[in-house]
Structures are given as structure tokens and as C-alpha cells.
């Protein structure tokens, strides 16, 4: 007979386990040494996932950096991630852009493709369709620069694979809210 | 200009300006300038420990018993790494510590210099926050900020790593009033609407319970007073975690005893069957909840905590109130009074009748003996013979710790110091030294196990140097008793490496350290021996020879629910109680 499945561990969370979601968190931090290590260490130490992470200074005079993290987990786990991030002393604000809705998310990728003859033509044609720019060219290769959401970049890379994909460098996702108001 | 100081002088000035009177430390090359600055002053007393772990636990004992921040000063490299266990312990139990570490000079950082280690890297995970100060001009701000961060919000340990060249460099010093933290501003006042909602839920409850923790103690004495008032007004039963003992008096009529793995039958069953749980400054950890999917299935849960991440972390909460315990409790008391609430008398009386039935099981009972000293009996006698005094109790970790929690009763907060979250053997003696320094005239007793005490036994030398009359009361069962108990439960009594082989003669050991040694193995002699200990105005080691195989009960076996406890009158083999998934747990 079908016995009910035993829970993973009697001490593990009874909170929802199944509905895994992808969320983008925007974290405004003091740009001080070690701040990225604190954030990344928190994710590894507590077993959270990082799908993508970008960081750069956004206000020089105020020493502020914005870290954008794409993470996966149950809604409860993602709420917990937000609170844990807020506990870090140099963190000013954590915003769950996915929960808030209506954010613009973009990633930049540089994609190297090698090939000769008709393959070159095909690569250029597809690049044009995706509005990718050629930032480097040699007789047997191109480097394309492509900006867009993650899905668009994934799709472009898949199309380049049979043509002669050599390698890819991606920035990870940067995100900002729509409308006149700041994320915070 | 008068406010130009060297980095080392700034450290000492900042400690003075923060009101620090006592620090714990151990010198070394990378902190010599600070030790030199200490040499030139009289305001701050430096207590020389014998191992940096001892410094950290002593600072914890000092902090926990006094409500102030504890301070330690250690050298780079091994000095810092030796302090790690104590820092982690303070993080887990939310104890405010400021730990100053020396570092190799800035130009050598990263070169694998002698006694260099990446202190901020290593301590990032075991501190609330840490700093590496590369410029002397940042030092005054960082020092004051560290005290702010350690003591505000949910308290915790903060490390300040100061390279040796920064200690020598000269810069401008300013006092604490100029420091306001940019980002770290914990919320103290709870949301008034939510507090009002909580009070309505409490007024409507039929089977309510207060479940309180270390947060009430951290919030200050006032929080404990308000808690007592609220319990008095509502008439609700109250239980507490290991860390929260003393915030409500053990003699109070609403007291159910401690809850959790070794908590009382009445506390755990009341948690399981309640219809409203009011959690205050407690964090639903696994020692408390037992099996999560069977944890208090029929209750609504209110959770008051200063740390938003504690709410909904392990257990789904119906009403979370973020704020300081004292603030929220005060508002609850005010509202309850203003609305002239009376708890619904009839259901509450029924609830108490049910609780009294659980109480009647007498879950802390044990089989008395005239031949051997039962460890529970030893703690009970210690309690009876010391309770009238100004007494502070610390513990090591193991069965003796749980027996102390069960059988020593606390009437006031800040009187009980134990390693709850990390469970650090070796905590008790240095913590007792810290507590004794904060309360020179009090009676301070470390209730110890013979295995744990050896982990920081070197601190007896510290006690001797400062003539600290701490009492080490060892419940000597010749076993790592808690390990032995789990091996009996889980591994068919194969006692792998849990026998305390080759123990020292503790009486002679005491004498070697200039302390007084007492041994007792006869229940009839116990009172006299305890009185001798109390009346000896010196450090005492009391080697109390107890029953070797006594188990600590009652117990929620790992992986079981609150209403599945093993009670002292359990007659079957305890080796068959825990199932396979339970065996995986700690
Ligand atoms: C530093 C450290 N190492 C190991 C443990 C695991 N441990 C928990 S209790 C215990 C035995 C303690 O023995 P003892 O001090 O004699 O106390 P008893 O349980 O016998 O009262 C051990 C080894 C621990 N808690 N801390
Ligand atoms: Mg023992």
C-alpha cells in the first residue's frame, strides 16, 4: 500500500517544500571591503542558491553599491533570505523585485563564434535578428555583444552552438523598478 | 592637540568612554602597543586568562551576568583563532561581545607573515559584524560603532582587527556621542495594531501559553518585570527555554518549568495542546520544537522578536511582532489593563486542571538512593543550601547542564549562564570567572561534568591569580554522560570512547592550583560537604561522585513530538525508542 512519504527530516522545516520560485533581489549596500564576501558567505553558509549575481558601485560619493541577486527557493525561504540579508550591518535595503512586480531586468553577454563561409553568414543574420552587435571580428570569428533578458540570451547562445560557439561571458542580471520611484 | 592619540591609546580611551571596567585578554606581538597603553592607566582592569577561548567565555559570563558588553583583547593568528569558539558561542546565544584582535602591520597583510591569519575572513561567519581597521583615522569611529552594534538589536559578538602599525600611528580621537550608525537601526517599538490584535487573541484564548526565551533576558531586567506583570494579569501558564530561565520566577505559580528536549511533561504537553502560543524572545530551535510537523498542531502562534529573521524561520507564525521584548510587553500590559480584559475564566480553569494532571506525573522525579549520590539529588541539595544567597550559576555541557536547568531554580534574570545554542563544553569555568569579576561578593558556582571541566581547566590559574572564590561543582559520573546516554538510546549501549579514562585526582588538582579540593561520594555527607564549599572563601573544586549510569529524563527523543516524551517511570529499554530517521538527528 502507499504509505505517506516520510518527511525529509523531522527537524526540517514544515513550511512549503514544493513550490520553488525564481526571485530577483536588489540589495543596496555600503561599498566597503568584505561586503560582497558577507553576502555570498550568507548564501553558502545557509544553503541558499545564487543563480546570478552582479555588483557595482552606484553612488560614488555615498559609497553605495547595488548587488542584484537572482535566487531560487520557496516563498518562505526567499522571505527568510531577505531578512537574513537585512541582518548584515552594511546592508541598507533589500527589495524583492519579483514580489513587487514590474521590474526591468537585463543582462549583457559577449559571445564568441568561430566559423567560415556560410556559417559566418548565418551567424551574422541571426545576430541581426537579435540586435546583437559585433564588437570584434577576425577572418574566422566574431564576438557579439547582446543585451536582453536572460531568456533571450539563452536562446541566442543555443542558436550559435551548432554554428560554432566558442565561449560566452555573461554579466549576470541587473535590475531596476519601472516608473518614477526608486527601488530604495 | 589633546585629542591626538596613537591607535593603541585610542583603544584604551574608547573602552573607558564606553564605561568598560574589566577586559579579558592574553598578550602577544601584534597587541603589544595596546598592552603598553593599558600599562599606563588605572581605569581598566585587565584580567589575564590562560587561553583565549577562556577570555571569550569569561567575557560572556561577565556580559550575561551584568547586562553590559563583554570585552576581550587577543593577539593575531593563534590568539584570534583560539577565540573563535567563544565568538561562535556568543553569536548563537546573542551575547554582546567586543573582541579586539591584533593583526600584522598593513604592509605585511596577505604575505603569510608570522602569526598572520585572515581574522576578518575567519570570523565573518561567527560574528554579528567585524572590522579590519587599515587607517588610524577610522579607529575611533569603528571602536564606538562596534559597541553600538554588539549591544543594539539582537546582541552579538563584534571583532575589531587592528594591524600593529595602526596601533602605533597617531590620529584624531573622538568620543562615543559622535557615532550614529548609517544603516544599522534596529526597530524597537512593535507595530501598535499588531500588538492590539495580539491582546485580542490573548483575551479570547482558551488554552494559552507563554513560551519565552533568552531575548527577554537580553532585553533587560525591565522586560522580566513586565513579563511577570503580564503573566499575573492574564493568569496564563508560562514556560521558558534553557536560555530564558529566571525571567519568570521558578517559584511563581504559573511556572511550568523548562520546555524542550529535557523539559517537563507539563510544559511540553501544554505547548502541544495549546490553542494560543505567545512566543517572546525565543527562536523555535530544534531542541524546543522536537518534530516540526507535529509541533503544537492546533495553535495560533504570536511571535515577538527583535530579529525579523527569527519570525517564520522554522515555524509558521500567525502574528509576528518585530520589536524589543520590553517595549512590546509594556504595550501588552497597558492594553490589557486599558481594555479591562479578564481572561475567559472558565476555559482557563479547565486548562489549568488539565495542566495539573500533567504536573501530577512528576516528570522530574528519580529513584532516590542511600548508597550513591544521584546527580539530581546533588543539584537539589546545592540549590537548597545556596538559594538564600546572592548566587550565580554557570554550567558546562552535558547531562549535568540539564540537571542543573531542571533542579536549580531561578528567581531572577541574569543569574544563569549556560552555553545553549552552541553547547560548548569548557564554557562554565571561564564564564564563572567572568561572573565573579562582575559580582565580586556573590557566590558563583560552575555546575560541571568531569569531562567538560578538563576543556578549560587551565583557567583555575586565572581564578587563583585574581583570588576569585568560584566554586566548581563537578557531577563526576566518569562518563561523558550525555554521549553515553545517546549511545544507550541509539547504538545498543556500545559506549565508544565515552568513558572518562585516566581522570586526574580533582582534589589534588585543586591543590596544585592553590585551590581547595573536596570529594564526596556519600549522600549522607553531601550537605556538610556543600556547606564546606560555600564557606571556603577561595576557589573550590568539589568532586561529587555520582551514579555513573543515571540518564537525564524526561526526554523528547530526537525526531519525536512534544507529546511523545520518555518519562522517568518508563520501564521498557530506552534503546528501542528512536526510529531510523530520528537516529540521523543530533
Ligand atoms: C567542545 C565540545 N565537544 C564535544 C561535545 C559533545 N558532547 C556533548 S555532552 C558531552 C559529554 C560531556 O561529559 P561531561 O562533561 O562529563 O558531562 P555529563 O554529560 O557526564 O554530565 C560531549 C562530549 C560538546 N558539546 N562540546
Ligand atoms: Mg560526566
**pLDDT value at A184 more than 70:** no
Could you give the C-alpha distances from B255 to B236, B252, B359, B405, B553, in angstroms and in order? 9, 5, 11, 14, 19
Residue B566: other Cβ atoms inside 10 A: 19
**pLDDT value at A14 more than 50:** no
Contact at CB, A12 and B292, closer than 8 angstroms: yes
- Catalytic residue check, B39: no
From A161, A137, A15, select the one nearest A74 (Cα to Cα).
A15
pLDDT at A9: 55
pLDDT at B568: 92
* Residue that finishes a domain, picked among A50, A79, A100: A100
Q: Are A57 and A64 in contact (CB under 8 A)?
A: yes
State CA B473 to chain mean position distance.
18
CB-closest option in B124, B128, B307 to A37: B124
Question: Both A63 and A86 in a single domain?
Answer: yes
Question: Both A114 and A156 in a single domain?
Answer: yes
State CA B489 to chain mean position distance.
27
pLDDT at B2: 59
Distance CA B446, CA A54 (A): 51
Distance CA B405, CA B399 (A): 10
Q: Are B365 and B372 in contact (CB under 8 A)?
A: no
pTM: 0.95
Q: What is the 3-state secondary structure (H, E, C) of B42-103?
A: CCCEEEECCCHHHHHHHHHHHHHHHCCCEEEEECCCHHHHHHHHHHHHHHHCCCCEEEEEEE
Average pLDDT over residues A52-71: 96
Domains of chain B, earliest start first:
3-173 (3.40.50.970), 192-359 (3.40.50.1220), 375-545 (3.40.50.970)
DSSP 3-state assignment of A42?
A: helix
Question: Both A46 and A111 in a single domain?
Answer: no
From B178, B35, B33, B154, select the one nearest B95 (Cα to Cα).
B154
Residue A80 lies in a domain: yes
DSSP 3-state assignment of B586?
A: coil
Overall domain count for chain A: 2
In which domain, by residue range, is A134 found?
104-174
State whether residue B128 sits within 8 Å of chain A by CB.
Answer: yes
Residue A1 lies in a domain: no
* Residue that finishes a domain, picked among A49, A65, A100: A100
Q: Which residue has the cell 501558564?
A: B237
Question: Both A137 and A96 in a single domain?
Answer: no
From B490, B478, B496, B492, select the one nearest B549 (Cα to Cα).
B478
CB-closest option in B125, B184, B314 to A41: B125
pLDDT at B573: 73
Question: Both A94 and A116 in a single domain?
Answer: no
Distance CA B480, CA B488 (A): 12
Residue A26 lies in a domain: yes
Question: Both A69 and A30 in a single domain?
Answer: yes
Cell numbers for B394 = 554557570
Question: With the CA atoms of A124, A129, A135 and A136 taken in that order, what torsion angle do they form, in degrees rounded to the nearest 10?
Answer: -10
Q: Using the Cα atoms of residue B534, residue B535, residue B538 and residue B542 in order, give the sign of their dihedral.
A: negative
Nearest CA in chain A to B586: A11
Cell numbers for B273 = 495542546
Q: Are A104 and A176 in contact (CB under 8 A)?
A: yes
pLDDT at B581: 81
Q: Which residue has the cell 523528547?
A: B556
Residue A2 lies in a domain: no
Task: Please tell me the distance in Å from B330's CA to the nearest CA on chain A.
Answer: 25
User: Can you give the CATH number for the domain in which A119 is found?
Assistant: 3.30.70.1150
pLDDT at A11: 62
Residue B476 Cβ inside 6 Å of ligand 1? The answer reads no
Contact at CB, A6 and B581, closer than 8 angstroms: yes
User: Can you give the CATH number for the domain in which A50 is found?
Assistant: 3.30.70.260
DSSP 3-state assignment of B16?
A: helix
Radius of gyration of chain B (CA): 24
Question: Both A95 and A163 in a single domain?
Answer: no
> Given phi > 0 = left and psi -120 to 50 = alpha, else beta, which region is A101?
left
* Residue that finishes a domain, picked among A46, A71, A100: A100
Task: Please tell me the distance in Å from A53's CA to the nearest CA on chain B.
Answer: 20
Nearest CA in chain B to A8: B581
CA angle B34–B38–B41, rounded 5-degree value: 145
Distance CA B85, CA B51 (A): 12
Q: Which of B201, B482, B533, B565 is catalytic?
A: B482
- Catalytic residue check, B114: yes
State whether residue B581 sits within 8 Å of chain A by CB.
Answer: yes
Q: Are B205 and B343 in contact (CB under 8 A)?
A: yes
Question: Both A82 and A132 in a single domain?
Answer: no
Average pLDDT over residues A138-165: 97
Distance CA A12, CA A9 (A): 5
* B50 upstream amide cis, omega within 30 of 0: no
Could you give the C-alpha distances from B388 to B151, B391, B392, B431, in angstroms and in order? 32, 8, 12, 22
State CA B27 to chain mean position distance.
27
State whether residue B586 sits within 8 Å of chain A by CB.
Answer: no
- Catalytic residue check, B417: no
Q: What is the DSSP letter of B1?
A: -
Q: Are B379 and B544 in contact (CB under 8 A)?
A: no
pLDDT at B569: 87
Distance CA B147, CA B70 (A): 10
For residue B558, how far is its CA from the centre of ligand 2 (angstroms)? 21
Q: Which residue has the cell 495542566?
A: B355
**pLDDT value at A16 more than 70:** no
Residues 306-345 of B with CB under 8 A from A: 307-309, 311-316
In residues, how long is chain B?
586
Mean pLDDT by 10 residues, chain B (586 residues): 88 98 98 98 97 99 98 98 98 98 98 98 98 98 97 98 98 87 87 98 96 98 98 97 98 98 98 98 95 95 97 96 98 94 85 98 97 98 98 98 98 98 98 98 98 98 98 98 96 97 98 98 98 98 98 93 91 78 82
Percent of chain A with pLDDT strictly greater than 90: 86
DSSP H helices, B339-398, are: 345-359, 375-386
Distance CA B577, CA B583 (A): 10
pLDDT tens profile A65-90: 999 999 999 999 999 999 999 999 99
Residue A183 lies in a domain: no
Q: Are B550 and B374 in contact (CB under 8 A)?
A: yes
Q: Are B305 and B215 in contact (CB under 8 A)?
A: yes
Distance CA A143, CA A134 (A): 6
- Largest separation between any pair of C-alpha atoms in chain A: 67
pLDDT tens profile B36-72: 999 999 999 999 999 999 999 999 999 999 999 999 9
Average pLDDT over residues A160-176: 97
Q: What ligand is nearest to the CA atom of residue B375?
A: 1
Question: Both A115 and A38 in a single domain?
Answer: no
Q: What is the DSSP letter of B336?
A: H
* Angle, helix B345-359 to helix B265-273, in steps of 10 degrees: 140
Residue B196 Cβ inside 6 Å of ligand 1? The answer reads no
Q: Which of B41, B45, B114, B253 is catalytic?
A: B114
**pLDDT value at A176 more than 80:** yes
Question: Both A109 and A164 in a single domain?
Answer: yes
Q: Are B232 and B331 in contact (CB under 8 A)?
A: no
Question: Both A94 and A109 in a single domain?
Answer: no
Q: Are B414 and B67 in contact (CB under 8 A)?
A: yes
Q: What is the DSSP letter of B207?
A: S
Question: Both A16 and A94 in a single domain?
Answer: yes
Residue A29 lies in a domain: yes
Distance CA B531, CA B209 (A): 39
Amino acid at each position: 500500500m502507499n504509505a505517506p512519504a516520510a518527511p525529509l527530516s523531522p527537524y526540517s522545516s514544515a513550511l512549503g517544500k514544493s513550490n520553488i520560485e525564481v526571485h530577483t533581489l536588489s540589495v543596496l549596500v555600503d561599498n566597503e571591503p568584505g561586503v560582497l564576501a558577507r553576502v555570498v558567505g550568507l548564501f553558502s553558509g545557509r544553503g541558499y542558491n545564487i543563480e546570478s549575481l552582479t555588483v557595482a558601485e552606484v553612488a560614488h560619493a555615498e559609497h553605495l553599491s547595488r548587488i542584484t541577486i537572482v535566487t531560487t527557493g520557496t516563498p518562505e525561504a526567499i522571505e527568510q533570505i531577505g531578512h537574513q540579508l537585512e541582518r548584515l550591518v552594511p546592508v541598507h535595503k533589500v527589495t524583492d523585485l519579483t514580489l513587487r512586480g514590474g521590474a526591468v531586468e537585463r543582462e549583457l553577454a559577449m559571445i564568441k563564434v568561430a566559423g567560415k563561409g556560410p556559417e559566418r553568414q548565418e551567424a551574422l543574420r541571426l545576430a541581426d535578428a537579435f540586435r546583437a552587435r559585433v564588437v570584434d571580428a577576425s577572418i574566422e570569428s566574431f564576438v557579439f555583444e547582446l543585451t536582453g533578458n536572460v531568456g533571450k540570451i539563452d536562446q541566442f547562445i543555443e542558436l550559435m552552438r551548432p554554428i560554432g560557439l566558442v565561449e560566452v561571458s555573461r554579466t549576470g542580471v541587473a535590475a531596476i523598478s519601472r516608473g518614477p520611484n526608486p527601488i530604495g | 592637540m589633546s585629542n591626538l592619540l596613537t591607535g593603541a591609546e585610542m583603544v584604551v580611551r574608547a573602552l573607558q568612554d564606553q564605561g568598560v571596567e574589566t577586559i579579558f585578554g592574553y598578550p602577544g606581538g601584534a597587541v603589544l602597543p595596546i598592552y603598553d597603553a593599558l600599562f599606563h592607566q588605572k581605569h581598566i582592569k585587565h584580567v589575564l586568562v590562560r587561553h583565549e577561548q577562556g577570555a571569550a567565555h569569561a567575557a560572556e559570563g561577565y556580559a550575561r551576568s551584568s547586562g553590559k558588553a563583554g570585552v576581550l583583547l587577543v593577539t593575531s593568528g593563534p590568539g584570534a583563532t583560539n577565540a573563535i569558539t567563544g565568538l561562535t558561542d556568543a553569536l548563537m546565544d546573542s551575547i554582546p561581545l567586543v573582541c579586539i584582535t591584533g593583526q600584522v602591520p598593513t604592509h605585511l597583510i596577505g604575505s603569510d607573515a608570522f602569526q598572520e591569519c585572515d581574522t576578518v575572513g575567519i570570523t565573518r561567519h561567527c560574528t554579528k559584524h567585524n572590522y579590519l581597521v587599515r587607517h588610524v583615522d577610522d579607529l575611533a569611529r569603528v571602536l564606538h560603532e562596534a559597541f553600538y552594534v554588539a549591544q543594539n538589536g539582537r546582541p552579538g559578538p563584534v571583532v575589531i582587527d587592528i594591524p600593529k602599525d595602526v596601533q602605533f600611528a597617531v590620529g584624531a580621537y573622538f568620543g562615543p556621542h559622535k557615532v550614529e550608525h548609517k544603516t544599522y537601526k534596529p526597530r524597537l517599538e512593535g507595530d501598535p495594531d499588531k500588538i492590539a490584535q495580539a491582546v485580542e487573541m490573548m483575551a479570547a484564548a482558551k488554552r494559552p501559553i507563554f513560551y519565552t526565551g533568552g531575548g527577554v533576558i537580553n532585553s533587560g531586567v525591565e522586560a522580566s518585570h513586565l513579563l511577570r506583570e503580564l503573566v499575573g494579569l492574564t493568569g496564563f501558564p508560562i514556560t521558558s527555554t534553557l536560555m530564558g530561565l529566571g525571567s519568570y520566577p521558578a517559584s511563581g505559580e504559573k511556572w511550568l518549568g523548562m520546555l524542550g528536549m529535557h523539559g517537563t511533561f507539563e510544559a511540553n504537553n501544554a505547548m502541544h495542546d495549546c490553542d494560543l502560543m505567545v512566543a517572546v524572545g525565543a527562536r523555535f530551535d530544534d531542541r524546543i520544537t522536537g518534530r516540526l510537523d507535529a509541533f503544537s498542531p492546533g495553535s495560533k502562534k504570536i511571535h515577538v522578536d527583535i530579529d525579523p529573521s527569527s519570525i517564520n524561520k522554522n515555524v509558521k507564525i500567525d502574528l509576528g511582532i518585530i520589536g524589543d521584548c520590553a517595549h512590546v510587553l509594556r504595550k501588552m500590559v497597558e492594553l490589557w489593563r486599558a481594555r479591562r480584559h479578564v481572561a475567559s475564566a472558565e476555559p482557563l480553569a479547565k486548562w489549568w486542571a488539565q495542566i495539573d494532571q500533567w504536573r501530577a506525573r512528576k516528570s522530574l522525579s528519580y529513584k532516590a538512593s542511600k548508597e550513591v549520590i544521584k546527580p539530581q539529588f546533588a543539584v537539589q541539595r546545592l540549590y537548597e543550601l545556596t538559594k538564600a544567597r546572592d548566587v550565580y550559576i554557570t554550567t558546562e555541557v552535558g547531562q549535568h547542564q540539564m540537571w542543573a536547568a531542571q533542579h536549580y531554580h531561578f528567581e531572577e534574570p541574569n543569574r544563569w549562564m549556560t552555553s545553549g545554542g552552541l553547547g560548548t563544553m569548557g564554557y562554565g569555568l571561564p564564564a564563572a570567572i567572568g561572573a565573579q569579576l562582575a559580582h565580586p561578593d556573590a557566590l558563583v558556582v560552575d555546575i560541571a561534568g568531569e569531562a567538560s571541566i578538563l576543556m578549560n581547566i587551565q583557567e583555575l590559574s586565572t581564578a587563583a591569580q585574581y583570588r576569585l572564590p568560584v566554586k566548581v561543582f563537578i557531577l563526576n559520573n566518569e562518563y561523558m554522560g550525555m554521549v553515553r546516554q545517546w549511545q544507550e538510546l541509539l547504538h545498543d549501549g556500545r559506549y565508544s570512547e565515552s568513558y572518562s579514562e585516566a581522570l586526574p585526582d580533582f582534589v589534588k588538582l585543586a591543590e596544585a592550583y592553590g585551590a581547595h579540593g573536596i570529594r564526596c561520594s556519600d549522600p549522607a555527607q553531601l550537605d556538610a560537604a556543600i556547606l564546606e564549599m560555600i564557606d571556603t572563601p577561595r576557589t573550590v573544586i568539589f568532586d561529587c561522585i555520582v551514579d555513573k549510569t543515571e540518564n537525564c529524563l524526561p526526554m523528547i527523543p530526537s525526531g519525536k513530538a512534544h507529546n511523545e516524551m520518555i518519562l522517568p517511570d518508563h520501564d521498557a529499554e530506552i534503546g528501542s525508542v528512536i526510529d531510523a530517521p530520528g537516529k540521523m538527528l543530533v
